[in-house]
Amino acid sequence: MLPLTVRTIRLTLHVLAVTVWVGGQITLLGLLPVIRAAGGDLPKSFARQFNRIAWPAFAVAVLTGVWNIMAVDLANTPPGYQVTLFVKLMLVAASGIGAFLHSQAKTPAARGMWGAVGLFTAIAAVLLGVQLGGVGGA
């Protein structure tokens, strides 16, 4: 059996946090029609409860992401790696901003638009994270 390393723990925490952040959004989106059909304050209650789980996961993903970057010697990575990392970081920021603006939106159209921004930028960040991991970085 291979030894358990700090790298393995760091990457596991990162993947778990990202799974909650992105997978939770996808799951909630799939459940939304049923939640809305139940009526009343149920959609708002679900959203509040989801936020109690999602935002800490986002924070863990950001912190472990920084930890991942610190584990890489960026000076010795190809320019394409650095550009991909920068774009990924911008997508992570856009995901957080989109999700925050979604939670603050006053109209259904604004909630839908910002929710889409939050989700699709999160999915794109996952794609680039997988690509970076395949290069042999963190």
Q: Is 8 left (phi over 0), alpha (psi -120 to 50) or beta?
A: alpha
Instruction: Render pLDDT for 25-34 as a digit per residue (tens, 0 to 9).
Output: 999 999 999 9
pTM > 0.75: yes
User: How many residues appear in the chain?
Assistant: 138
Instruction: Render pLDDT for 87-130 as a digit per residue (tens, 0 to 9).
Output: 999 999 999 999 999 999 999 999 999 999 999 999 999 999 99
pLDDT at 133 over 60: yes
